[in-house]
Structure 1
Amino acid sequence: ARAVVLPFAEAAVDVDKPADLELVERLLAGREAA
């Protein structure tokens, strides 16, 4: 296995719970607003 280096931390969020989905939606909304 190898590490995959990405320029944004949001890609590492594991969305397996409703609260995780809410977090990702907030993060993406913040990126769109910027």
Structure 2
Amino acid sequence: MPDQIKTKQINHVTTMVKDTARAMKFYNGLLGASSK
């Protein structure tokens, strides 16, 4: 098995959702992210 990739940061993630407002609230709380 090859060595694991060590992640330093995440620049971009795409997720398809039905309820954008609910998803933003969830991910902002989970990741501490904010929308611009």
Q: TM-score range by the shorter chain?
A: 0.3 to 0.5
Q: TM-score, normalised by structure 1?
A: 0.38
Larger radius of gyration: 2
Q: TM-score, normalised by structure 2?
A: 0.37
Choose between structure 1 and 2: higher helix proportion.
1
